[in-house]
Homo-oligomer: A and B are copies of this chain.
Amino acid sequence: MNSTKSFTLQTQAGSEKIGEALSAGRNGFLRLPHGDVETPVFMPVGTQAAVKCLLPGQLKEIGTQILLSNTFHLYLRPGHEDIRFHGGLHRFMGWDRPILTDSGGFQVFSLSKLNKITDEGVVFRSPLDGSEHFFTPELTVEIQEALGSDIAMVFDECAPHDAPETYIRQAMKRTYEWAKRFYKAHSKEDQMVFGIVQGGVSIPLRQESAEQITSIPFDGYAIGGLSVGEPESVTLAALEATCAYLPKDKPRYLMGVGTPELIFASVALGVDMFDCVLPTRSARHATLYTSGGKVHIKSAKYKRNREPLDPRCDCYTCRHFSRGYLQHLYARSEVSGMVLGSLHNIRFLTAMMENIRISIRERRFEAYRKAFFDRYRNQDGSE
């Protein structure tokens, strides 16, 4: 089964200068049971076994290689045994390309009422019905094996980024112990397992966590607990410090990051994978990405705009409709507006990743980054 999971770097880092430093940007292939994923890659999020507003056929059409789904939500509803009954998550949701499942660590700590954190695991109450549940590393292995995802994430403790160092250190220690137990309990051969580096925004703690987690031979390493409210410069410093301690031959995944600014900066630091709910959530709230910057499409100023949302985009939305029509759909709260917006936002990031990969292969990543941001401003793209 090992041939169904591997990571190969096609273009290595260090060949191109970015400012004073050498770019660590890399282009690789992640071979997974449900197909190959070319990195760097952005993974749309399908929390409830569905990417909000989009169908699998639409996601394929816009070049989505891999989706993220969520252990925490699927465990609570419909339940992983239901999904096992349905033949696993791929079959259940009609998606035959790779899936990465988050372990639920982040959600247990951010969405539910915690009753007790012990070395053994976490007792929490369901935010849905108040029922009590107990997550251990072993249980999150069991759930993710039942889901049958291509990549399972370890169960970790996510300390708030502004927590005192003693707390962060304690959470790190527990995350390390849990990672060892998770790795030991895991038995599904055709499923990759990624460890997660924590450590808040402290560079020494990040390095310590990276050394601990990379001492376990995971198939890849994620960077958790960043971009959760701290300034971007702090994020990038912690990220750079972490990446320096990660093995070069394993995939690196920066969890929860999805803005063009952070993606470009992280790719330059050698990150391979990203996920974020922002593109679909923004689309549901009428904020759409374009090559000229973000557009709040509900604004009345677009009523008589006959231009496509983004003339540089090849998606269904941009090929068929005007900004005026999108404004109308959003202003009328038509579901089709959210569908067309979500489709476009995911295509926008997916196309950006395609261009990033090509630019790395052609040793012109920095030139592409500059060209991208010469056009893209983090403001209304119509001005």
Contacts and interface: CB of A to CB of B under 8 A. Distances in A.
A87 B372 CA distance: 33
B316 A55 contact: yes
Interface in A97-153: none
23 contacts: A48-B328, A48-B329, A48-B334, A50-B329, A50-B334, A52-B334, A52-B336, A53-B339, A54-B336, A55-B316, A57-B316, A78-B324, A78-B328, A78-B331, A82-B303, A82-B324, A85-B306, A86-B304, A86-B306, A86-B322, A86-B325, A335-B335, A335-B338
Contacts of A92: 322, 324-325, 328
A370 interface: no
Given A49-B325, A49-B328, A52-B334, 12 more contacts: A48-B328, A51-B336, A52-B335, A53-B336, A54-B336, A57-B320, A77-B332, A82-B304, A85-B306, A94-B321, A335-B338, A335-B339
A324 B82 CA distance: 9
A223 B335 CA distance: 31
Interface string A301-318: 001101000000000100
A160 interface: no
Interface of A: 48-57, 77-78, 82, 85-87, 92-94, 303-304, 306, 316, 320-322, 324-325, 328-329, 331-332, 334-336, 338-340
Copies of this polypeptide in the complex = 2
Contacts of A321: 94
A82 B325 CA distance: 10
Contacts of A324: 78, 82, 85-86, 92
A94 B320 contact: yes
A97 B87 CA distance: 41
A330 to B, nearest CB: 11
Contact of A320 (B50, B56, B78, B331): B56
A303 B335 contact: no
A99 to B, nearest CB: 15
